[in-house]
Structure 1
C-alpha cells in the first residue's frame, strides 16, 4: 500500500482500490449519471467513523486512519478532488433539489467527512454552496435535511 495506514487512506492517496475495485481516478471520472446511480463509492470518498446504514460492508474510518489521511498531502488532494467533483455534480444537476432525496444523506456525509479530515472552512464553503443552490431553486429541501447539514458542521 505504499505507506498507507489502511484501505481508505490508500484509496484517497490514489494507490488503493475501493470495495468494487475502482481507483479514485476511476470514481473522479464518473459522469453525472454514474454519480447519481452508483451508491457504493461515497463511503470511500468521504469516510466516517460509523458504519453506513445504506451500504453494508462499506469501510469505517478509524482514528488512526483519519490521522494518517490528515497528515498525507496526497490523500488530502484526493479528497479535495472528490469534493470538487461532487460540487460540480450538485451545480450541474437538479434532481436532488426536492424535498427528499438520497443526495441529502450524501451531503451530510460529505460535510462531516470534510470537516473532520480537511477542516471546517472547506466544509463551511461546501455547505454555503449547497444551501445557495437550494435557495436558488425555491428552497425545496426539507427542514430535517437542512438541520442534519448544520449539525454535520458542528461534529
Structure 2
C-alpha cells in the first residue's frame, strides 16, 4: 500500500477522520484528538508519538512508522473545510500554550470602539429582557443574539480564527507586539513563558524538530497566518540575547516557514505538491 493520508500499511488513522469532531477518529494507538488536547504539559513533553498525527506532513517520519502522510486530497479537504481548519487551530492553540505562548487577535482602534459599543448595547438589552421590563422586545433580543452568534460561528468556521481580544486587552497587547491593523493575528509570550521555555529555549532539543513540523504542517493544511505568527514569535525569541537557541534550529524553522511549499526543511521535495503549486500559479 503506497504512502497516503491513511498511513503506510494496515489500517492506520485517517487525518481527516481524526480532525473531524463529528467522526472523532482515533490514531494508531486508539487516542482521539480531544483526548490529546486535554493532556497536561508533562505528558505532551514525554510522549513522542502524537505530534505526527497532530501536525501531519507530506513526508514520512523516521520516528513513527504509523505516522499518517498528507496527500493532495487530504490537503485540499483541509483547505476547503472551515471545520477541519478550526479544529486544527485548536491543536495549534494547545501547543502554543505548551511552549509558553499566547495567540491573540488585535482589532484596530475604530473596530475596538464599535465592538465595545455593540457589546454594551447587547448587554443592556439582555438585562432588560431578563428583568421583564421590555416583554415586547424579548423575541427581538433573542433573534438579535441568535444572529450575532450565528455570524460569529460562521466566521470561526470559515476563517478558523482565535477569539478577538477585548478593547481593554488590546491596549496592553499593543505594547507587546507590532500593530498590524484590523484582526492582526499574533503569537506573544504568555505569563508562564519563562517556566515553559526552559525545556526548549536551549541550543538543541527534540522540541525544535516538533516546531519545524508544526510550522510546515500549518502551511500545507492552509493555516498560513498561524504559521507566520508563530515564526515571527520564534524569531523574536531567537534574537533575545538572554536565550541561546542553535543556529541550525533557526535555519530549519525559517525553511519550514518560508521555503517553497513543496520543499521540506531538510531539502526533500514533494513532487505532487510541486505540481499542485505550479497549477495554482497558472490559475492565479
Same fold at TM > 0.5: yes
Q: Following the alignment from structure 2 to structure 1, what is the Cα–Cα distance between the partners of residues 69 and 76? A: 14
What is the aligned counterpart of 2:72 among 60, 63, 71? 63
- Between Structure 1 and Structure 2, the one with more strand by share is 2
Q: Following the alignment from structure 2 to structure 1, what is the Cα–Cα distance between the partners of residues 225 and 63? A: 27
Q: Following the alignment from structure 1 to structure 2, what is the Cα–Cα distance between the partners of residues 103 and 89? A: 11
Where in structure 2 are there 5+ consecutive unaligned residues?
A: 7-13, 101-191, 262-284
Moved more, 142-151 or 113-122: 113-122
Pairwise CA distance, 1:99: 0.5
Pairwise CA distance, 1:129: 2.0
Report the count of equivalent residues: 151
1:37 correspondence with 2:14: no
What is the aligned counterpart of 2:227 among 119, 123, 147? 123
1:27 correspondence with 2:36: yes
- The C-alpha deviation readout for 1:18-73, integer Å capped at 9, x for no partner, is 11111111011011001101111111111101101122221111111111122222
The aligned residue for residue 20 of structure 2 is 13
Instruction: Flag the structure with larger Rg.
Output: 2
- The C-alpha deviation readout for 1:123-149, integer Å capped at 9, x for no partner, is 010112233334447231110110100
1:142 correspondence with 2:282: no
Higher RCO (CA-CA < 8 Å; seq separation 6+): 1
Q: Is the 8 A contact 1:42 1:106 kept in 2?
A: yes
RMSD: 1.7
- The C-alpha deviation readout for 1:59-111, integer Å capped at 9, x for no partner, is 11111111112222221111100000000011141201111100000000000
Pairwise CA distance, 1:16: 0.8
Q: Is the 8 A contact 2:75 2:221 kept in 1?
A: yes
Secondary structure of the residue aligned to 1:112 is: helix
The aligned residue for residue 106 of structure 1 is 210
Q: Is the 8 A contact 2:85 2:223 kept in 1?
A: no
